[in-house]
Amino acid sequence: METEIKKKGIVFKSYSEDDEEYHDIRKFFELKASDLFEHETKKQREKGEEEKESYWASGNRINYGYFDYNGRHICFLANNSFIGMMKSQYMQTLSRFPDSFGTHNAADIVDALYKNNGFERTGWSREKYVEIALKGDICCYVVQRKNGKFDDRVLRIDLFRLFQKDKDNPDVYVFTSGLFHALKHFQVEGKSLSTEKGYEVGSIDEVVLMCVLAFFQPEKPNRKDNVVMHLPLPDGKCLEAVFYHEKESNVYTITSLHVTDPDDVK
């Protein structure tokens, strides 16, 4: 990730306790997360689905940060579970259980994470592990601040939206939307970062960074409530990022990310 940051002239910075923006952003993200939760539960009620419990972990100061990019001031919050997964757990799992990646079956990755993170002693089923330890509010929020005000438009990076059986092959599981789904289009040192192989990157953090930078490119309508953004890459390729737009709360989440040739961009 450090190499990619240097290429783009990006330096991540932490807040001090007396930094006014740090206290402002805590309040902003808490309100935005609560707003998103309210709209999600409203939809669940309308569909007759079981409502999830409200959860908000604002974390401490080390969970917050910011960087400047092409004249933009970008702020972020990553909760402890997201930081732990991105900082060590995911790549450690790839190192310990390489044969569980690139199998075209997301269940293999979930089972490897289960073993690596020491959940075998809990006796939880795969489904319980997914619901408690992987799904839900394990996320990172990103927003731009301009002229002293935070944009209402916010990016939320979740691990995945659904972990479910493939409709065409019930013996195989897939990640639907979110970062784990997007990672199937990337690899590190020739090793798949999810269920398939794709574009070579230096680390999982590089994928997250490309996703964030793509979010601040011009958006184009896609299908239904999705929008697409394109980020030019240093090697002449182009990242195509598709985001789901929850219009009532104005929060965007990952539908998919993949790298393509500029000529293929519509």
pLDDT tens, position by position, 116-153: 988 888 889 899 999 888 987 788 999 999 999 999 99
What pLDDT is stored for residue 35 in this prediction? 73
Q: Tokens 């960087």 sit at which residue?
A: 67
The pLDDT assigned to 57 comes to: 55
pLDDT at position 70 is 86
Helices (H), the chain: 2-8, 20-47, 80-84, 90-96, 106-116, 126-129, 178-182, 204-215
Q: For position 4, what pLDDT does the model report?
A: 46
The range of the structural domain enclosing residue 200 comes to 2-264
Report the number of distinct structural domains present in the chain: 1
Give the count of beta carbons closer than 10 Å to the beta carbon of residue 143: 23
pLDDT for the residue numbered 166: 94
**Could you please report the per-residue DSSP string of 10-36?**
---BPPPTT-HHHHHHHHHHHHHHHHH
Q: What pLDDT is stored for residue 8 in this prediction?
A: 59
What is the side-by-side order of every strand in the sheet holding 186-188?
191-192, 186-188, 199-200
Place of tokens 């500029």: 262
Report pLDDT for 33: 80
Q: Are strands 154-158 and 64-69 parallel, antiparallel or unpaired?
A: unpaired
Label residue 62 exposed, middle or buried (CB < 10 Å: 0-12, 13-18, 19+): exposed
pLDDT score for 96 = 96
- Asked if 246 and 224 count as a contact pair (C-beta separation under 8 A), the reply is no
Q: Which residues contact 185 (CB under 8 A, 6 or more apart)?
A: 196, 198, 199, 256, 257, 258, 259
Residue 93 confidence (pLDDT): 96
Entry pTM: 0.88
Tokens of 167: 């409709």
Q: Show the low-confidence residues of the chain (pLDDT under 70).
A: 1-9, 39-59, 266
SS3 of 213-245: HHHCCCCEECCCCEEEEEEECCCCCEEEEEEEE
- Residue 253 φ/ψ region, left for φ over 0, alpha for ψ in the -120 to 50 degree band, beta for the rest: beta
